[in-house]
């Protein structure tokens, strides 16, 4: 399956052959001369709120608007317009002509899925398959537990989806939508905290000027990154007509604004834990950046699952399902309602391919390194020196061992030969989706994140590793 669309309206993403081709937030800005889409529309959402639309994916239906948006009568028309703009903006050369996989929001009803398939079939994309995002998230990780929770943030809600193992299949048990922690609602709460800080520290109120409020909104991703790194103070700036105004936003004030919404997730989570002792939690996309969310699941095994992992698994899985659907066919789009383990990817000799599994306990993996320690990155395993260990850092956007570098001050994480984190210098690092500190002991299967890059630590039983992609 070459073409896939990940339909999270925070950022609708178009993938070809597992690589992101084009992405567009679920925003449309309407003016007299026509519609503007994606980032350009989002950058007008606070300046022209009445002319900006951002809930049409969430409220997909054919219920007519009280007044038309340009030539669009209802949300389904806006979804069609957004898909058409994505295709025109992202295409290169001839049209793709490939059957597409649609990865759909967790909370869509059957009627919304049916409407989506019809809308997409009339767009330049040619959908053949649909799969709920939570199923693809869990399928990419294969937890060895009866129940798994998938958390994903959308523009207008956060979903907690329960995925259950039934015999040899993974089934979505239910998906609960919590609207208070959608990106739009969360943004409003954080902007309120920032506005209060500016009012208290300066004579400016960002809410009295739409351009100022827009500038703060555009800076939100930076705030979220700093909050996820446990920064206690967030510096903020406003550019007025005559000067730049600065204020400091306290992390505690942000948490106070979000506390009532986080409490709702906490209550839902406690209800799940009453019935199940060991429930892995998978945080899809950028949901791990929600301030305070990681603390709710602090006693559980947690993993952050990137969009590329979700798309790769779903594409591989549907490619193994028998189907004669061709682009332009009148046959309806097929919906994947569960994941059958017997259809999961296999190696060349027909045996099931190795998958990263969850196991019981409070960490992602158990056991210790009884033999050589290796770090696995992009399919290549490299040895950690028993004597010197290794210094892992980033050269550009690539993880490298900086042990032989002459500049010892270069940002890095120092790992000892016995798989202990000795030092973290100059960069943000997480272990299994949580902040890591010196002294942490690694075990096989642990995932170290350096920015957007991830390294997995493995043990090799026969003192042989996979080097440069060759088979061990």
Chain segment 310-356, per-residue pLDDT in tens: 999 999 888 877 544 444 444 568 888 888 877 764 423 333 344 44
Q: Model confidence at 369, in pLDDT bands (50, 70, 90)?
A: confident
Chain segment 31-62, per-residue pLDDT in tens: 887 899 999 999 999 999 999 999 999 999 99
pLDDT of residue 462: 41
Chain segment 250-272, per-residue pLDDT in tens: 999 999 999 999 999 999 998 88
Nearest residue to 300 via CA among 346, 249, 349, 358: 358
Nearest residue to 457 via CA among 400, 428, 427, 415: 415
The CA R_g of the chain, rounded to the nearest whole Å, is 24
pLDDT of residue 364: 31
What mean pLDDT is predicted for residues 2-26? 93
Tell me what percent of the residues of the chain surpass a pLDDT of 90.
Answer: 48
Q: Are residues 326 and 434 in the same domain?
A: no
pLDDT of residue 378: 78
The winner for highest mean pLDDT among 100-104, 143-147, 373-377 is: 100-104
Q: Per the structure block, which two tokens stand in for 134?
A: 């939570």
Output the CA angle 112-117-122, nearest 5 degrees. 125
Q: What is the DSSP letter of 141?
A: T
| Residue 103, H or E segment | strand 99-104
What mean pLDDT is predicted for residues 113-119? 90
pLDDT of residue 165: 86
pLDDT higher than threshold 60 for residue 366: no
Selected residue with higher pLDDT from 310 and 92: 310
- Kindly report which listed range (52-56, 378-382, 432-436, 452-456) carries the lowest average pLDDT score: 378-382
Q: Which residues of 54-90 are buried (b: 16+ CB within 10 A; e: fewer)?
A: bbbbbebeeeeeeeebeebebbbbbbbbbbebbbeeb
Q: Residues for the chain: how many in total?
A: 472
Does a structural domain hold residue 115?
yes
Does a structural domain hold residue 147?
no
Q: Are residues 379 and 331 in the same domain?
A: no
Q: Per the structure block, which two tokens stand in for 366?
A: 């158990």
Distance in angstroms (rounded) separating the CA atoms of residues 469 and 472: 9
Q: What is the DSSP letter of 217?
A: H
Q: Are residues 437 and 329 in the same domain?
A: no
The winner for highest mean pLDDT among 79-88, 174-183, 446-455 is: 79-88
Question: What is the β-pairing status of strands 380-383 and 398-401?
Answer: unpaired
Q: Per the structure block, which two tokens stand in for 133?
A: 């995002």
Q: Are residues 25 and 130 in the same domain?
A: yes
Selected residue with higher pLDDT from 14 and 2: 14
Distance in angstroms (rounded) separating the CA atoms of residues 14 and 102: 10
Q: Are residues 33 and 99 in the same domain?
A: yes
Selected residue with higher pLDDT from 215 and 409: 215
Mean pLDDT of the chain: 84
Selected residue with higher pLDDT from 467 and 397: 397
Does a structural domain hold residue 205?
no
What mean pLDDT is predicted for residues 243-253? 93
Q: Are residues 7 and 135 in the same domain?
A: yes
CA distances from residue 182 to 10, 55, 390 in whole angstroms, order as listed? 9, 11, 40
What mean pLDDT is predicted for residues 438-442? 87
Distance in angstroms (rounded) separating the CA atoms of residues 117 and 133: 15
Nearest residue to 216 via CA among 182, 193, 243: 193
Does a structural domain hold residue 79?
yes
Chain segment 202-217, per-residue pLDDT in tens: 989 999 999 999 999 9
pLDDT of residue 460: 63
Question: What is the β-pairing status of strands 373-377 and 429-431?
Answer: unpaired
pLDDT of residue 374: 85
CA distances from residue 9 to 32, 44, 139, 324, 472 in whole angstroms, order as listed? 25, 17, 22, 30, 42
Q: Is the pTM of this model over 0.75?
A: no
What mean pLDDT is predicted for residues 113-132? 90
Give all strands of the β-sheet with 453-459 in edge-to-edge order: 380-383, 373-377, 453-459, 447-450, 429-431, 434-435
Q: Model confidence at 96, in pLDDT bands (50, 70, 90)?
A: low
Does a structural domain hold residue 184?
no
The winner for highest mean pLDDT among 61-65, 324-328, 400-404 is: 61-65
Does a structural domain hold residue 37?
yes
Does a structural domain hold residue 149?
no
pLDDT higher than threshold 70 for residue 453: yes
Query: Distance between the two ends of the chain, CA-based, in angstroms?
Result: 29
Does a structural domain hold residue 198?
no
Q: How many domains does the chain have?
A: 2
What mean pLDDT is predicted for residues 108-117? 90
pLDDT higher than threshold 60 for residue 97: no
CATH label of the domain that carries residue 7: 3.30.420.40
CATH label of the domain that carries residue 436: 2.60.200
Q: Structural domain of residue 393, as residue ranges?
A: 373-459
């Amino acid at each position: 399956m070459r073409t896939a669309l990940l339909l999270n309206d925070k950022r609708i993403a178009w993938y070809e052959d597992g690589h992101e081709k084009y992405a567009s937030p679920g925003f449309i800005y309407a003016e007299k001369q026509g519609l503007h889409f994606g980032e350009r529309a989002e950058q007008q959402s606070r300046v022209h709120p009445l002319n900006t639309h951002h809930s049409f994916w969430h409220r997909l239906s054919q219920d007519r608007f009280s007044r038309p948006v340009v030539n669009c009568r209802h949300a389904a028309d806006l979804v069609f317009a957004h898909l058409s703009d994505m295709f025109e903006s992202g295409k290169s050369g001839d049209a793709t002509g490939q059957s597409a996989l649609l990865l759909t929001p967790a909370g869509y009803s059957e009627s919304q899925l049916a409407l989506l398939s019809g809308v997409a079939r009339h767009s330049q994309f040619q959908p053949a398959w649909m799969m709920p995002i939570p199923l693809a998230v869990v399928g990419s990780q294969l937890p060895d537990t009866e129940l798994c929770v998938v958390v994903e943030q959308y523009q207008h809600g956060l979903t907690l989806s329960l995925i259950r193992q039934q015999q040899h299949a993974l089934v979505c048990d239910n998906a609960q939508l919590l609207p208070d922690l959608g990106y739009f609602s969360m943004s409003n709460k954080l902007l309120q905290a920032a506005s209060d800080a500016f009012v208290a520290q300066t004579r400016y109120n960002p809410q009295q000027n739409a351009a100022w409020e827009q500038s703060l909104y555009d800076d939100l991703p930076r705030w979220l990154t700093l909050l996820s790194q446990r920064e206690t103070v967030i510096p903020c700036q406003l550019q007025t007509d005559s000067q730049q105004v600065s204020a400091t936003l306290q992390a505690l004030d942000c948490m106070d604004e979000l506390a009532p919404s986080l409490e709702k997730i906490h209550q839902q989570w406690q209800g799940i834990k009453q019935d199940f002792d060991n429930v892995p939690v998978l945080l899809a996309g950028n949901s791990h950046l929600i301030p305070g969310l990681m603390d709710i699941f602090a006693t559980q095994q947690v993993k952050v699952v990137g969009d590329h992992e979700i798309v790769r698994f779903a594409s591989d899985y549907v490619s193994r399902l028998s189907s004669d659907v061709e682009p332009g066919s009148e046959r309806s789009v097929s919906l994947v309602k569960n994941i059958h383990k017997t259809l999961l990817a296999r190696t060349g000799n027909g045996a099931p391919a190795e998958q990263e599994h969850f196991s019981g306990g409070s960490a992602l993996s158990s056991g210790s390194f009884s033999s050589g320690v290796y770090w696995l990155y992009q399919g290549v395993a490299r040895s950690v020196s028993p004597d010197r260990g290794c210094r892992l850092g980033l050269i550009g956007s690539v993880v490298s061992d900086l042990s032989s570098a002459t500049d010892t001050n270069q940002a890095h994480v120092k790992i000892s030969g016995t798989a202990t984190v000795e030092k973290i210098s100059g960069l943000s690092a997480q272990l299994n989706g949580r902040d890591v500190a010196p002294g942490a002991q690694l075990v096989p299967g642990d995932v170290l994140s350096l920015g957007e890059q991830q390294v997995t630590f493995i043990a090799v039983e026969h003192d042989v590793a996979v080097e440069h992609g060759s088979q061990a």
